[in-house]
Amino acid sequence: MPPATPESRPHVNLAVLIDADNAAPAIVEGLFEEIARYGVASVKRIYGDWTQPNLGGWKKVLLDHSIQPMQQFAYTHGKNATDSALIIDAMDLLYTGRFDGFCLVSSDSDFTRLASRLREEGLTVYGFGERKTPKPFVSACDKFIYTELLRADAHPADETSADATEAPAKPTRGTKKDKGEPTAKAEPVKEDTKRDAKASPVPIRLITKVIDDVSDDDGWASLASVGQNLTKLRPDFDPRLYGFSKLSALMKAQPRIESRQSNKHIEVRVRQR
């Protein structure tokens, strides 16, 4: 099941399960704004040992966002009983058959198998975690959003992801022939680029490969299809990582890609060299 979008599935029921030990309270505002793009947070639970002082920051925001705290005592030092409680609840919620997807908020790889199991049942899994989240957990989700993008006090574009970036492609000798084609840059794109000047390099080779894979005989591909396939290949792909608020703005800023409006939909293709 591909990740739901506001246009395709506006009434998706989601269960939001937060690992308080591996998530910061500063992400709450952005977290639920992001979740609202994919569906309705019907269940909102957060797990941790609330007798411990390190979770004090969470206590201040639980009431404001109607998040239900789930108490789990740490029986033994060094053992994370919170993870087990979250996993058990996730399976209980799964078997109710009331949910279309789950939002797992944690940077802990221990939830990798849980994400895989939920997807085996045909549910969509959205992962939320820091850039340090292990790759197996990221790949186990349908869509993974880095929580640094959700914080108002952080600038994730300043960080570099070694396994998710590539250097921008250099112009080829055939590029000059494209001067008469549609303009690659628009005013909104300039604003995005200026706002996140230190953004990670765009993975242009991955993008052009996906366009080639889903394009028609003339090389044109629906932007929506390109976006869906990018997420399938790389669940953590997000235009915001590269300094753009939307995928369309990212595409228009790439010299190797041209775009056009077709029947109220945007199409893109790789420029002929």
CATH class given for the domain over 13-154: alpha beta
CA–CA gap between residue 43 and residue 66 (Å, rounded): 9
Instruction: Record the tokens describing residue 219, joined without a space.
Output: 């090389």
Q: Whole-model pTM above 0.95?
A: no
Alpha carbon separation from 156 to 147, 148, 237, 267 (Å, rounded) = 9, 5, 13, 29
Q: Strands across the sheet with 124-129, in order?
A: 68-71, 40-48, 13-19, 101-105, 124-129, 143-146
Residue tagged 């269960």 (tokens): 15
* Domain 173-270: homologous superfamily in CATH: LOTUS domain-like (3.30.420.610)
Per-residue pLDDT of the chain in tens (273 residues, 90 and over written 9): 455 554 444 589 999 999 998 999 999 999 999 999 999 999 999 999 888 888 888 888 998 899 999 988 765 554 477 888 999 999 999 999 999 999 999 999 999 999 999 999 999 999 999 999 999 999 999 999 999 999 855 444 433 333 333 334 444 444 444 444 444 343 343 434 443 555 678 899 999 999 999 999 889 999 999 999 999 999 999 999 999 999 999 999 999 999 999 888 999 999 887
Q: Is 13-154's fold the same as 173-270's?
A: no
Hey, where are the domains in the chain?
13-154, 173-270
The DSSP-derived string for 220-232 is -EEHHHHHHHHHH
Give helix 112-120 / helix 81-94 axis angle, nearest 10°: 0
